[in-house]
Copies of this chain bind each other. A is one copy, B any other.
Amino acid sequence: MNYELDDQVGFVLRKAYQRHLTIFAEHIAGELTAMQFSTLFRLVRADGPISQNALGRMVAMDAATTKGVVSRLEARGLIRMEQDLVDRRRYLLSATPEGHALVQEVMPRMERVSADTLAPLNAREQKTLLKLLQRLC
């Protein structure tokens, strides 16, 4: 059986994502983790407040993981939670002015992160990779 670990999608996907996270950390330093950025970004871009679970789904996180990320963002004053008056199980989440400001400040560097991750490929290859990856989800 000629099963080579380095030729398996899963193994290479993990290594590629790992490298991406390293590049992310280099650019964003200690301000935000990748998941914290994605979560905060979704909230900033949203037009209205969103429930915790709904936000998690928008970033592809399960409820338990979402809880942790949201708590840390809230503890840092980047997002605000308030009880939903209609459905009392829910919290309505929204980005604070500080949250908006941080996303604004970090935005330009985020494009560099994506560019650096894709740097080994030329423009056409980058587009191809993105399209193929999107079809895997």
Contacts and interface: CB of A to CB of B under 8 A. Distances in A.
Interface of A: 1, 3, 5-21, 24, 34, 38, 41-42, 59-60, 107, 110-111, 113-114, 117-118, 120-121, 125, 128-130, 132-137
A28 to B, nearest CB: 11
A51 B5 CA distance: 19
A10 B6 CA distance: 20
Dominant SS at the A interface? helix
Contact of A9 (B41, B59, B107, B114): B114
Nearest to A1: B107
Given A3-B110, A41-B5, A20 B15 contact: no
A134 B42 CA distance: 30
A10 B17 contact: yes
Contacts of A15: 60, 136-137
A12 B120 contact: no
Contacts of A20: 9-10, 13, 136
